Amino acid sequence: MGKLLKTCSEFAADLLERLGHRLRRRKPRLYVHYAVAQSLWCIATQTERDGTKTPIMQLIFSADFNHDDPKQDLVIVNAYPKGMRQQKVAAFEKFNVPPGRIVTKQVAVWVLPLLAEQGKDWKGRFILVDQFMRKHKTERVVFRWVGCSPSSKNPA
């Protein structure tokens, strides 16, 4: 009986230690330093099966990424502008941010509905999602319009 009690006691201590570790663990802070000159947006076009064309907002930016977790890699698996649920076209390529390193990446997403007026710059934030589905909100940045003027026809 004493051996069973000792085994249960060790099991409970291990369980409580793991639970305490989970409760203490905080979400790492992700730092994003935009290359402002490379934060751009335009209109792309998606052709549906019935032949109709749907305008899609295309956003592209380059940035340096790092985080403050000293032990664990942070893998960014999704990115989308704040106010959207997720990107429309699955073209995002995940990337890894190791601890203590700065990673420079270009991120491109296509989203619906359009968040900005065609021909004007758009100012907004991005939501970056890591491998544990934790969301990291960036600072606001201006995305410069680089598409055709609204009066000209889109060649697409």
Sign of torsion over alpha carbons 60, 63, 69, 73: positive
What domains sit in the chain, N to C, each tagged with a CATH number?
28-145 (2.60.40)
Do residues 59 and 143 make contact, with C-beta atoms less than 8 angstroms apart?
Answer: yes
Who's near 91: CB < 8 A, 6+ residues apart? 108, 109, 110
> Rounded mean pLDDT of the chain?
84
Confidence band, pLDDT 50/70/90 cuts, at residue 26 = confident
Confidence (pLDDT) at 140: 95
Query: How many whole angstroms separate alpha carbon 62 and alpha carbon 39?
Result: 7
Confidence (pLDDT) at 39: 94
Confidence band, pLDDT 50/70/90 cuts, at residue 117 = confident
